[in-house]
A and B are shown apart, each in its own frame.
Chain A
Amino acid sequence: MNAEMNHAETPAAGAQVLLRALKEQGVEVIFGYPGGAVLPIYDALFQQNAIRHILVRHEQAAVHAAEGYARSTGKVGCVLVTSGPGATNAVTGLVDALMDSIPLVCLTGQVPTHLIGNDAFQEADTVGITRPATKHNYLVKRSEDLARVVHEAFYVARSGRPGPVVIDLPKDILIKPAPYVEPTREPHRSYRPQTEPDAGQIDKAVALIKNARRPILYTGGGIINAGPEASALLRELVAETGIPCTNTLMGLGSLPASDPHFLGMLGMHGTYEANMAMHGCDVMINIGARFDDRVTGRLDAFSPNSKKIHADIDASNINKVVTVDVPILGDAGKILRALLERIRSLNAQPDRAAITAWWRQIDSWREKRSLAFVQPDAPGSIIKPQHAVRRLFELTRQSGRETFITTEVGQHQMWAAQHFGFERPNHWMTSGGLGTMGYGLPAAMGVQVAKPDALVIDIAGEASILMNIQEMGTLAQYRLPVKVFILNNQYMGMVRQWQELLHGSRYSESYSEALPDFVKLAESFHGVGMRATSVDDLDRVILEMIKCDRAVIADIAVDQGENVYPMIPSGAAHNEMLLGPDKNRDNAEVTNAGMVLV
């Protein structure tokens, strides 16, 4: 590498300049897949040791792996794919990162500049295709722009609301000499997101909090993205005020699950107490969440009697779905700090007696035990999926190992969110906004690369896992001991559940026909396969899996008919939950309007 090279020297090839800029931006790992258009970059990679390259088996997986890397470290993830199909395969991952605000820089190869627009081999209009799939994208057409664009891309990816950035690199730009420039210290000429909250808005929020009698904190991925300090500040705020707190799917881990103020996740499959408290609160303090439709349920009945405070780094999230009383634009950590300082200096804690009465009400909702399930304990009993997650949680906790959980998408994802207790931020990676099946295995791979000694487990379903199963090969090549914990009910479980509840139990195309033998599959990829078919096997399999120092697929046969409860059916309000097959429906029913919703 030319790390010691000075400005004025003979310019190096574009590919070398690119790697130098990446190194300057702190890139240690690239997840990628080679091809014709990016051969110069691979040649430059071959001749250096500073940046490690992880060869995935499919470009989509490269992006998810970079997401897992970014989410577990707080750094910007880096991806390298070739032109045409390399770039189009990456698109799902890019949209996934966009929806969940994950900072990534994705380098895509492109045909040489003089061939652009000619339908050349492996040409695709990558900037056109990825424009709505990224936070921003670039096509580098002049060598003198190359280094600046790379620096700028990293700034854009990590600043404000983080997101994926694509840099499209024509092959001639990678081969021709290019000048290197250092990153500038000046802010971007047009993109300067506001991170410091307005003091007046903080005061308005504190005034609402001071007079609140039934307040609730509703916090999301913005707190995770603001760094671990933000989660620590949330804990302090909760302790200072006694305000109950619920997390979105993206926000799990920001408040320890063991904190008595934690109400669990809210929304479509959130706890009864979280949703009822959202419905009945008088002051809602949303920090870093975006009133997603999975969270709000029916909008015209969403928390009808509350004053709403909404803190967000992205102005377009404010008043987008729910009109709020006190918007606060800024970084979640800075906002939490400002709120906490102001509450302390003004002694603006809400009235103790009112908070105590509010907790009495919440405790009565908690008594519904909305996440309860019955695991038959007779020998040979079929495993309930919730029980499998609970045991996984207990046994990993007892192991004392630092544990990271990723998931695919579906029922298993919701059971993981409900039953695995997350104590710390950045230890839970799931595809929230886009809901990408096939996310969990490559994401776990990325986490394991970043945290080689940690226990990284992909809680999966048997359908989702097959969407990126080829990455078992990557695990083998790099000896990444990722554990794939499949809750195998032989159905696309969430589809089956909706068909049961909304489509007269007509299970159209949701049965997982002709499944592979996952034990043999793991072995064929040089991993270890395990299987539990009854409750008697479960703990033994989990313990063996935790102990194993290689990649594992644990195939856990679970009850096929189990549904995720509680559930707010589409088009219903927070106080209209389905609590379970054996409990009273809390006046919930699916309307025709609700049927239309996804």
Chain B
Amino acid sequence: MSDVTNGQRIATISVLVDNEAGVLARVIGLFSGRGYNIDSLTVAPVDADLSRSRITVVTRGTNAVIEQIKAQLGRLVPIHKVADLSADGPHVARELGLIKVIARGEQRVEALRIADAFRAKIVDTTIESFVFELTGASEKIDAFIDLMRPLGTTEISRSGVAAIARGTRTII
């Protein structure tokens, strides 16, 4: 995830926060208040006692803007750690998509073929519809959805990106 267009890069930032009321609003408010982009955002508690949550934000900007975003996140009081996964080394980023396709006849068969090629799981089916579950890099889910759209009515639900560093590096 390091596409470079006109000096901008995409950054996947993981933030370890206290799992308390309002902490997500602080992070989102920081992005909207200072005019930064959010491409994707996920959050869930990660400690055994649920005391801390991990927020993963995918954002874009020039290097200076990304550095500023990290510094601004770092000064929020309930934040324990800010890590720029895309800059700190190799990492794995995954997203889950649930894609409903309503189609009949040949379109329906084609949807099934494409799903097979993508190793998407069928998690619900009726005579007229499928719900596919697909996990992978965001680009893979994008490609899958692009192929499904012409085949019928589609409805999409995506989780946003969860990411973690490869190897032994941690942010705990």
> Who on chain B is nearest to A316 by CB?
B71
Q: Verify B77–A136 contact, CB threshold 8 A.
A: yes
Q: Which residues of B contact A323 (CB under 8 A)?
A: 64
Q: Verify B75–A314 contact, CB threshold 8 A.
A: yes
Q: Which residues of A contact B25 (CB under 8 A)?
A: 128, 131
> Who on chain A is nearest to B17 by CB?
A190
Given A131-B22, A189-B18, is A320 in contact with B68 using a C-beta cutoff of 8 Å? Answer: yes
> Who on chain B is nearest to A323 by CB?
B64
One of B22, B68, B72, B80 near A190 (C-beta < 8 A): B80
> Who on chain A is nearest to B69 by CB?
A316
B74 on the A face (CB < 8 A): yes
Q: Which residues of A contact B78 (CB under 8 A)?
A: 136, 190-191
Closest-CB distance, B114 to chain A (whole angstroms): 45
Closest-CB distance, A306 to chain B (whole angstroms): 19
Q: Verify A319–B18 contact, CB threshold 8 A.
A: no
Q: How far is the CA of A132 from the CA of B33 in the complex (A)?
A: 8
Closest-CB distance, A322 to chain B (whole angstroms): 11
A318 on the B face (CB < 8 A): yes
- Give per-residue flags for B52-71: 1 if the beta carbon is below 8 A from chain A beta carbons, else 0: 00000000000010011001
Q: Which residues of A contact B64 (CB under 8 A)?
A: 319, 323
> Who on chain A is nearest to B73 by CB?
A316
Q: Verify B26–A316 contact, CB threshold 8 A.
A: no
Closest-CB distance, B51 to chain A (whole angstroms): 9
Q: Which residues of B contact A315 (CB under 8 A)?
A: 71, 74-75
B21 on the A face (CB < 8 A): yes
Which residues from 315 to 348 on chain A have a C-beta closer than 8 Å to any C-beta of chain B? 315-316, 318-320, 323
Q: Verify B68–A319 contact, CB threshold 8 A.
A: yes
Which residues from 5 to 44 on chain B have a C-beta closer than 8 Å to any C-beta of chain A? 17-18, 21-22, 25-26, 29, 33
A308 on the B face (CB < 8 A): no
Which residues from 68 to 111 on chain B have a C-beta closer than 8 Å to any C-beta of chain A? 68, 71-72, 74-80
Closest-CB distance, A444 to chain B (whole angstroms): 31
- Give per-residue flags for B125-159: 1 if the beta carbon is below 8 A from chain A beta carbons, else 0: 00000000000000000000000000000000000
Q: How far is the CA of A137 from the CA of B76 in the complex (A)?
A: 11
Q: Which residues of A contact B17 (CB under 8 A)?
A: 190
Q: Verify B77–A191 contact, CB threshold 8 A.
A: yes
Given A131-B26, A139-B21, is A316 in contact with B77 using a C-beta cutoff of 8 Å? Answer: no
Q: Verify A316–B18 contact, CB threshold 8 A.
A: no
> Who on chain A is nearest to B78 by CB?
A190
Q: Verify B33–A316 contact, CB threshold 8 A.
A: no
A99 on the B face (CB < 8 A): no
Q: Which residues of A contact B79 (CB under 8 A)?
A: 190
Given A139-B21, A190-B18, is A316 in contact with B29 using a C-beta cutoff of 8 Å? Answer: no
Which residues from 83 to 129 on chain A have a C-beta closer than 8 Å to any C-beta of chain B? 127-128
Closest-CB distance, B67 to chain A (whole angstroms): 6
Q: Verify A156–B77 contact, CB threshold 8 A.
A: yes
A171 on the B face (CB < 8 A): no
Given A131-B25, A131-B26, is A316 in contact with B80 using a C-beta cutoff of 8 Å? Answer: no
Q: How far is the CA of A132 from the CA of B34 in the complex (A)?
A: 11
Closest-CB distance, B138 to chain A (whole angstroms): 28
Closest-CB distance, B171 to chain A (whole angstroms): 13
Q: How far is the CA of A17 from the CA of B64 in the complex (A)?
A: 46
Q: Verify B74–A316 contact, CB threshold 8 A.
A: yes
- Give per-residue flags for A166-202: 1 if the beta carbon is below 8 A from chain B beta carbons, else 0: 0000000000000000000000111100000000000
Q: Which residues of A contact B67 (CB under 8 A)?
A: 319
Q: How far is the CA of A188 from the CA of B74 in the complex (A)?
A: 14
> Who on chain B is nearest to A128 by CB?
B25
Q: How far is the CA of A137 from the CA of B75 in the complex (A)?
A: 14
Q: How far is the CA of A137 from the CA of B21 in the complex (A)?
A: 11
> Who on chain B is nearest to A159 by CB?
B77
A135 on the B face (CB < 8 A): yes
Q: Which residues of A contact B22 (CB under 8 A)?
A: 127, 131, 137, 139
Q: Which residues of A contact B21 (CB under 8 A)?
A: 139, 141
Q: Which residues of B contact A127 (CB under 8 A)?
A: 22
Q: How far is the CA of A548 from the CA of B39 in the complex (A)?
A: 63
One of A135, A160, A189, A316 near B68 (C-beta < 8 A): A316
Closest-CB distance, A129 to chain B (whole angstroms): 11
- Give per-residue flags for A190-223: 1 if the beta carbon is below 8 A from chain B beta carbons, else 0: 1100000000000000000000000000000000
- Give per-residue flags for A135-146: 1 if the beta carbon is below 8 A from chain B beta carbons, else 0: 111010100000
Q: Which of B22, B64, B79 has the most CB of A within 10 A?
A: B22
Q: How far is the CA of A315 from the CA of B68 in the complex (A)?
A: 9
Q: How far is the CA of A139 from the CA of B3 in the complex (A)?
A: 41
Closest-CB distance, B56 to chain A (whole angstroms): 18
Given A139-B21, A190-B79, A320-B68, is A131 in contact with B74 using a C-beta cutoff of 8 Å? Answer: no
Q: How far is the CA of A128 from the CA of B79 in the complex (A)?
A: 18
Chain B residues with CB under 8 Å of chain A are: 17-18, 21-22, 25-26, 29, 33, 64, 67-68, 71-72, 74-80
Besides the known contacts A136-B77, A190-B79, A316-B68, 20 further A-B residue pairs in the complex with CB atoms under 8 A apart: A131-B29, A132-B33, A136-B76, A136-B78, A139-B21, A141-B21, A156-B77, A160-B75, A188-B77, A190-B17, A190-B77, A191-B78, A315-B74, A315-B75, A316-B71, A316-B74, A316-B75, A319-B64, A319-B67, A323-B64
A selection of 5 A-B contacts at a CB cut-off of 8 Å is A131-B22, A136-B77, A139-B21, A141-B21, A161-B75
Which 8 A-B residue pairings sit nearest by Cβ, starting from the closest? A316-B71, A136-B77, A315-B71, A190-B80, A191-B77, A316-B72, A132-B33, A316-B75
